[in-house]
Amino acid sequence: MDISIIVPLLNEEESLPELASWIEEVMVGNRFSYEVIFVDDGSKDHSWNIIQGLRNKNENLKGIRFRRNYGKAAALNVGFSMAIGDVVCTMDADLQDSPEELPEMYRMVKEQGYDLVSGWKKKRHDPISKTIPTRFYNWTARRISGIKLHDFNCGIKAYNKPVVKSIELYGDMHRYIPILAKWAGFRKIGEKIVHHRKRKFGKTKYGLDRFYKGYLDLLTISFTSRFGKRPMHFFGLWGTLLFMAGFAIAGYLAYDKFLHQAFKMTERPLFYFGLLAMILGTQLFVAGFLGELVSRSAYDRNQYLVDQTLGLEKPLD
């Protein structure tokens, strides 16, 4: 199969028929073999009923329904696990992403050898309260990751199949898929300018909290990608350095005490700095040890309650 298209959605009943028809027109027009996997992330409207109806008309349309809202990263993660296309594409369900961008992104992956192609909404139809924080956020992500993308969080992307089978999404890490891909060893990452359409139905599912959450997630992914499998390398190093510094201070004070015998060690402020350093060093070392234990036993980080599936043969174990 040429293309798998993953479409996460939440309460998008109005846009789904038009989106499904648009995708079919583009795929058939370009003679692609394809599948569309709609992932209903706990919608409270009639989105799932519409997906069932669309499936009855077109067997290329498939569906996954969560019992409750888990978030976009969870929806993408499950969709990635079920995709069988040589190129896996993602797009939002709100009609702001155009399926007409997908054929060129497909060719960039298949013919130009890109591991990942990310859309760049160069001209956005968003208020300034959203565009300025978004630019600053993307600038920070570029500086930290070293990946030269203008729009990390663009919903429309194309991946070579091994990429999506090699990365794991959780929390809100969908914003940083290019970073996850790079740290998984997929380094040929490109971008394509895409058309950003105004929202036609409904309202955005994201508030202002996504900006500070985005920065916290960026710090998290930067730390976990480097030390997630080896937390002792971070906590143990700093714990050891602090403990040694505190021990050196205590040794110096003990030497000075026995040499001059003119003061009590506890009367000197330096004593308490040394004691604090040894306590913090010990705590950091223990934190690293506990982190090692946790990292080896976190087996259920990506377990989701899938209520129903449509047209998918592979079981969701």
**What pLDDT digit, counting tens, does each position of 48-81 carry?**
999 999 999 999 999 999 999 999 999 999 999 9
Residues 6 or more apart whose CB falls under 8 angstroms from that of 54 comprise: 16, 17, 20, 61
Number of H helices, E strands in the chain: 10, 8
The C-alpha angle with vertex 148 and arms to 158 and 176, in degrees rounded to 5, equals: 55
pTM above 0.75, yes or no: no
Q: Which of 271, 244, 245, 243 is nearest to 257 (CA)?
A: 271
pLDDT of residue 232: 79
pLDDT of residue 152: 87
Alpha-carbon span 159 to 141, nearest angstrom: 20
What is the band of 34 on the pLDDT scale with cuts at 50, 70, 90?
very high
pLDDT of residue 9: 95
The C-alpha angle with vertex 68 and arms to 20 and 217, in degrees rounded to 5, equals: 90
Residue-wise pLDDT for 143-153, tens only, equals: 888 898 998 88
pLDDT of residue 158: 97
pLDDT of residue 213: 65
**What's the average model confidence in pLDDT over 83-88?**
96
How high does pLDDT run on average in the chain? 85
Cα atoms found within 13 Å of the Cα of residue 290, Cβ hemisphere only: 6
pLDDT of residue 262: 63
What is the band of 222 on the pLDDT scale with cuts at 50, 70, 90?
low
- State phi, psi for 91 to the nearest 5 degrees: -160, 155
> What tokens does 258 get?
């026995």
Alpha-carbon span 203 to 34, nearest angstrom: 29
